[in-house]
Amino acid sequence: MDFLIFKAPILMVQASLDGILLGILFALIAYGMALQWGVMNIINIAQGDLVILGGYIAYTMYLAGIHPAWGVIVSPIIMFFVGWALYKLVINKVVDRDLFISILATFGIAIIFQQLMNFIFGADVVVAQSEYGTTMLFDNSVTLPNSKIFSAVVSILYAIALVIYMKKSRLGRAIRATAQNARAAKILGVDTEKVYAATFGINAALCGIAGALIAITLTLHPYVGLPYTVRSFMIVIVAGLGNLPAVAISGMGLGLFEEFADYILGTEFRIGAVFMLLVFILVYRRFKLSKKREYLK
Amino acid sequence: MNKLTKLFITFISAITLMLSSMSSSFAKVDGEYIVLGAAISLTGKYSSNGVHTQNGYNLAVERINKMGGVEVQGKKYKFEIIYYDDESNPKRAAQLAERLINQDGVKYMLGPYSSGLTKAIAPVTEKYKIPMVEANGASRSLFTKGYKYLFAVLSPANQYLEVAIDLAVEKNGGKPVRIAQAFEQDAFSQDVRLGILDAAKRTGSEIIIDDKLPKELNDMAATLAKVKATKPDVLVVSGHTKGALTAIRQIAEMKVDVPMLAMTHCDAAKLSKQHGKKSEYALCASQWHKNLSYKDKFFGTGKKYDKDFKKEFGYAPPYQSAESSAALLVFKDAFERANSFDGDKVRDALKTTEMQTFYGNIKFGPGGQNTAKPMILFQVRCKGDTCENKVVAPTKWASDKFYHPIPKWSERS
């Protein structure tokens, strides 16, 4: 097959923009994951399901006649408390344990969330309409849904706000201190229990924002959480923990890579190509590490 | 093991034993009841369509029982269904089929929802020689395995959109067309794809884009950008409800202009309700529509069925419910013609079924698929903000004219 994308170079612009806009959204979810992974050493399998729950909050508002874009403000607030409650109920019992235990626990949470959402919102695929219209570039040959632009802008704004908060606020400093050395932080008077709960809450809030954006850009279904978990996991693995610029770049890179893989290899290899990339990066990192004789912590 | 656990286990086994001995008295025909078994997705990802299926079954059971039931050897019997929830999980469905047959003594089965689950159950019913009439498994591979006890009242998946290609060729003045297609990678959608490939071959049409969408995918931007660049005559999309909703959302957002758009699962996705005017002109494959002129003495016409169903369950019946109701009519007919409860005799009777129901004509081919009923296409048409599905093909039942080509986005309000 000859490649359409090389015959019509304008498609490259389209693919790049699509990839970057989607990548920014994924980076937001991934940053939440990186944050709590770094601070609490927990890999949250329920990450994607928190995203979908956030989406359903926006969708519920849409059904009630409120514009779903308000979901990016309401959803994180509700989700923060959901995250907080989850921490108090489940996560605090596994936070100091083996990584495997926390994976199992969050896997359980994921299943419960899926079934609950199915029970409450039904198994139909749903969408919320933003009616934001479309931006057309290059004589209509490149189209950008305004909802995607909106979602990228909102993601960036929240990410910036979060970085500032982590740098300047008391809680932000406490979170960073706990991430570096929980024991030392505790000795110096940081209430690590509270820090953990807040971190989990912040992560859930980020998921809530992303979910609301997904409700207006893509589709919602109680069982589509897992791909979001997997993607954010991938971004975090590539970018490392607690490094927002790296997460953003890795998110956009992944989005780009996915779009181009679609054009060049075919849609059916899109997800496969991403996994191949992941394997490649892991092998490469290991190779580099063994050369340096260092280890990650 | 401590004493308490032991006691607990003994207790549980005692109860299980008791229950299993009780349920075996249920058997195939219990007093005046003919007992049918069904595993249905009441929870999990298929639960909405699972419920549609169950409602369809229940409405038919109630109607048949009320109108005199099933007459076998001069005695009147009533239908009764034992349901289990298969949790939308094929493994669970197969287990439940075993349980229905071995523990509950069911001798006749009704199908679950979806091709995947029907595929899981069919080997079990085949093994125990239990006749199964199914209404929601359309995958072609169900009918090529040589199953002898499987009967499907619906048209197989490869027929879903073949008509659309014929229609496109017809609109192109009988000349071959250029087709762009995107199908999810699952059994059903790939069968639909095979049908398109056949139709393309038959009409000499060319397939210029042939994308296979991964199951996890909820973004079709890349496929649609390709469509925009290549300008095909017809775009075909099949990927269950998610595929239909994603396609419409992104076609509208990206202002993709195609003369013809054909899809599956429009009514399951409530396209016209969720997307409103954006979904206008989409052409959708359907097993059934209430306006078709088929008739039977239990439900009357499709319109009457629609009304009765609405009254009972409070929503308009999707075709999944209609075909499920039809499955019961087929069973009743077969029991009466067999005039016996013997499994093989009932199967033989099913094999020679030739009848009309409100849902369509039913006659089974050698593989168990229904060969007597064509698929229909409807087109979403809007007046103001309310959108409706209008039957446009085949011409025999068309209530409205097929609108072609789809106006460009720049010309649409």
Q: Which of B45, B211, B225 sits opposite A14 (nearest CB)?
A: B225
Chain A, nearest residue to B274 by Cα: A127
Best residue in A20, A143, A232 for a mutation probing chain B (most B CBs within 10 Å):
A143
Whether the CB of B218 is below 8 Å from some CB of chain A: the reply is: yes
Region B56-85: mean pLDDT is 93
DSSP 3-state assignment of B296?
strand
- Residue A82 predicted with pLDDT over 70: yes
Shortest distance, CA B172 to any CA of chain A (angstroms): 25
DSSP 3-state assignment of B53?
helix
**Cα B125 from Cα B148, distance rounded (Å):** 10
Region A182-190: mean pLDDT is 89
Residue B249, CA atoms < 13 Å, CB-side half-sphere: 32
- Per the CB < 8 A criterion, the answer to whether B113 and B40 are in contact is yes
Region A159-176: mean pLDDT is 91
C-alpha distance from residue B368 to each of A158, B117, B320 (Å): 57, 17, 18
C-alpha distance from residue B301 to each of A131, B3, B258, B306, B360 (Å): 40, 64, 36, 9, 10
**Cα B37 from Cα B57, distance rounded (Å):** 11
Count of beta carbons in the 10 Å neighbourhood of residue B152: 30
A58-62, A254-258, B18-22, B403-407: range with highest mean pLDDT: A58-62
Give chain A's domain count.
1
Whether the CB of B237 is below 8 Å from some CB of chain A: the reply is: no
Tell whether A210 is covered by a domain. yes
- φ/ψ of residue A283, rounded to 5: -65, -45
Lowest mean pLDDT among A121-125, B78-82, B240-244, B268-272: B268-272
Nearest to A176 by CA among A203, A205, A199: A199
**Mean pLDDT, all residues of chain B:** 88
Q: What is the pTM of this model?
A: 0.82
**Cα A183 from Cα A44, distance rounded (Å):** 22
Tell whether A11 is covered by a domain. no
Whether the CB of A135 is below 8 Å from some CB of chain B: the reply is: no
* Strand ranges, E, within B9-166: 29-30, 33-40, 70-72, 75-85, 108-110, 132-134, 150-152
- Per the CB < 8 A criterion, the answer to whether B360 and B326 are in contact is yes
pLDDT at A49 (0 to 100)? 95
- φ/ψ of residue A114, rounded to 5: -60, -50
Tell whether A288 is covered by a domain. no
Dihedral, CA of residue B348, residue B352, residue B356 and residue B361, to nearest 10 = 110
Tell whether A218 is covered by a domain. yes
Chain B, nearest residue to A131 by Cα: B253
pLDDT at A206 (0 to 100)? 95
pLDDT at A84 (0 to 100)? 94
Work out the end-to-end distance of chain B between its first and last CA atoms, rounded to an integer number of angstroms: 73
**ipTM score assigned to the predicted complex:** 0.82
Taking each continuous run of H as one helix and of E as one strand, the counts in chain B are 12, 18
Tell whether A212 is covered by a domain. yes
Residue-range definition of the domain harbouring residue A174: 27-243
Tell whether A8 is covered by a domain. no
Whether the CB of A32 is below 8 Å from some CB of chain B: the reply is: no
DSSP code of A96? T
Q: Which residues contact A189 (CB under 8 A, 6 or more apart)?
A: none
Share of chain A above pLDDT 90, in %: 36
- Residue B95 predicted with pLDDT over 50: yes
Tell whether A183 is covered by a domain. yes
**Cα B92 from Cα A297, distance rounded (Å):** 43
pLDDT at B17 (0 to 100)? 56
pLDDT at A292 (0 to 100)? 65
Residue B266 is encoded by which pair of tokens? 């429009």
Residue A282 is encoded by which pair of tokens? 């892991």
DSSP one-letter string for B305-367: HHHHHHHHHSSPPPHHHHHHHHHHHHHHHHHHHHTS--HHHHHHHHHT-EEEETTEEEEB-TT
Which residues of chain B lie closer than 8 angstroms to A8, CB-CB?
229
pLDDT at A2 (0 to 100)? 57
Contact A15 B222 (CB under 8 A): yes
Whether the CB of A123 is below 8 Å from some CB of chain B: the reply is: yes
Going along chain B from its start, the domains and CATH numbers come out as 24-155+292-363 (3.40.50.2300), 159-286+375-411 (3.40.50.2300)
- Per the CB < 8 A criterion, the answer to whether B77 and B338 are in contact is no
Binning pLDDT at 50, 70 and 90, where does residue B13 land? low
**Cα A232 from Cα A24, distance rounded (Å):** 11
Lowest mean pLDDT among A232-241, B2-11, B380-389: B2-11
pLDDT in tens, A210-220: 999 999 988 89
